[in-house]
Structure 1
Amino acid sequence: MKVTLPKPNRTFGPADVLGLVGLVGLLIARYIPVARLVPFWGCVLRETTGWPCLGCGLTRVADRVAHFNFAGAWDANPLGTVAALFFALMVVVMVLHLVFAMPIPQLHLSPTEWHWARIAVATVVLLNYAWVVVKAKFPSLLT
């Protein structure tokens, strides 16, 4: 793994895109009750089969993180909460980068490191989904 630090700049890049997406998403979650306004909003898989999908709880996570209810967000979907907090962090990084020309470190991984990173992400996604399924279908196992 190699980390490089570019010269201070205000060039709009991938970190700024993530920050902009995070800012827009969290502002929408904070001020627009999407789940109540859109009549077809919801998980079709869960409504049809009773089983949650991989993304079940993400609307609640965004709403709860935007309202600073981190415990409620974690209860809805732990990995979604981590992702929402990452987007919030990227908003701060975007502001620091574009306003104060803070350089954003660049991470370079070898092919082997990328391989293990993909395995780690897949494992975390599967563990999170297992937790969401157990919480939805077998809540007595969590008490």
Structure 2
Amino acid sequence: MKVTLPKPNRTFGPADMLGLVGLVGLLIARYIPVARLIPFWGCALRETTGWPCFGCGLTRVADRVAHFNLPGAWDANPLGTLAALFFALMVVVTVLHLVFAMPIPQLHLSPTEWHRARIAAVTVILLNYAWVVVKTKFPHLLA
């Protein structure tokens, strides 16, 4: 793994896009009750089968993180909470980068490291899904 630090700049890049997406998403979650306004909003898989999908709880996570209810967000979906907090961090990084020309470190991974990162990501996603399933279908196991 190699980390490089570019010269200070205000060039809009991928990290800034993540910050912009995070800002828009968290503002929508904070001020617009999407789940109440859109009549068909919800998990179709959960409504038809009773089983949660991989993204179940993400609307609640966004709403709760936007309202600073981190325990409630964690309860809805732990990995979604970490993702929402990452987007919030990217908002701060984007502001620092575009306003104060703070350089954003660039991470360079070898093919082997990318392979390991993909395996780790799939493992974490599956573990999170298992937790969501247990929380939804078998809550007595968590008591």
Task: Quickly name the TM-score band, shorter chain normalised.
Answer: over 0.9
Matched AA of 2:98: L
1:67 aligns with 2:67: yes
- C-alpha distance in structure 1 between counterparts of 2:31 and 2:93, whole Å: 23
SS of 1:3's equivalent in the other structure is: strand
TM-score normalised by structure 1 residue count: 1.00
Matched AA of 1:47: E
2:26 paired residue number: 26
Gapped regions of structure 2 (runs ≥ 5) = none
How do 1:124-139 and structure 2 match up within 5 A?
124-139=124-139
SS of 1:47's equivalent in the other structure is: helix
1:102 aligns with 2:124: no
Q: Deviations over 1:104-141 (max 9, x none)?
A: 00000000000000000000000000000000000000
Matched AA of 1:130: A
Q: How many residues align?
A: 143
The structural deviation recorded for 1:50 is 0.1
1:57 paired residue number: 57
TM-score normalised by structure 2 residue count: 1.00
1:142 aligns with 2:134: no
Q: Identity of paired residues, percent?
A: 90
2:88 paired residue number: 88
The structural deviation recorded for 1:68 is 0.1
The structural deviation recorded for 1:9 is 0.1
Deviating 4+ runs (over 6 angstroms): none
- C-alpha distance in structure 1 between counterparts of 2:136 and 2:95, whole Å: 38
Gapped regions of structure 1 (runs ≥ 5) = none
The structural deviation recorded for 1:11 is 0.1
The structural deviation recorded for 1:6 is 0.2
How do 1:43-54 and structure 2 match up within 5 A?
43-54=43-54
- C-alpha distance in structure 1 between counterparts of 2:139 and 2:57, whole Å: 15
- C-alpha distance in structure 2 between counterparts of 1:19 and 1:32, whole Å: 19
